[in-house]
């Protein structure tokens, strides 16, 4: 259906990321699943890079377990931004128990056409 709307998977993923409310975070895997692409966590990361600078709340996407998967300064910026929104860290990981964003039931894709 998204595809029918002329949206690429990248747009679908980015759109899902935009839904993450302030003070909440979602994992790459969950974003992919919520967008209807279970198992495409990698593409989420790719989409995020591609959509950088387009106003996407990229900092709200973290790795499973609430771990920041960026490196170097980007990682610090992400952590800083999250803390700014009130996200609490337990050492190196985020308290997913209270900050993980729950998406509505992901719509299923009929098939991974190719």
Partner DNA sequence: TCCGTGACGCGAT
Partner DNA sequence: CATCGCGCCACGG
Q: Which residues bind DNA (CB under 7 A)?
A: 8-10, 27-29, 39-46, 48-50, 52, 58-59, 61, 63-65, 69-71, 74, 78, 112
Who's near 98: CB < 8 A, 6+ residues apart? 88
Cβ–Cβ < 8 Å for 27, 64: yes
Nearest approach, Cβ of residue 70 and DNA (Å): 5
Q: Check if the beta carbon of residue 14 is closer than 8 Å to that of residue 54.
A: yes
Q: Compare residues 9 and 101 and give the one whose CB is closer to DNA.
A: 9
Q: Which is nearer to DNA, 20 or 41 (CB)?
A: 41
Distance CA 111, CA 50 (A): 25
In the bound state with DNA, the residue whose beta carbon lies nearer, of 39 and 86, is 39
71: Cα separation from own chain's centroid: 17
Shortest Cβ distance from residue 57 to DNA (Å)? 9
Pick 45 or 94: Cβ nearer DNA: 45
Q: In angstroms, what CA-CA distances link 101 with 7, 27, 78, 111, 113?
A: 23, 9, 17, 26, 29
Please state the closest distance from residue 24 (CB atom) to DNA, in A.
15
Q: How far is the CB of 86 from DNA (least distance, A)?
A: 19
């Amino acid at each position: 259906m998204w595809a029918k709307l002329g949206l690429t998977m990248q747009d679908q993923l980015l759109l899902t990321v935009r839904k993450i409310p302030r003070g909440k975070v979602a994992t790459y895997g969950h974003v992919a699943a919520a967008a209807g692409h279970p198992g495409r966590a990698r593409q989420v990361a790719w989409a995020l890079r591609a959509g950088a600078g387009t106003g996407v709340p990229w900092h709200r996407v973290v790795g499973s377990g609430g771990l920041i998967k960026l490196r170097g300064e980007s990682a610090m910026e992400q952590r800083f931004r999250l803390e700014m929104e009130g996200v609490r860290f337990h050492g190196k990981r985020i308290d997913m128990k209270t900050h993980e964003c729950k998406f509505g039931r992901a719509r299923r894709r009929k098939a991974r056409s190719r």
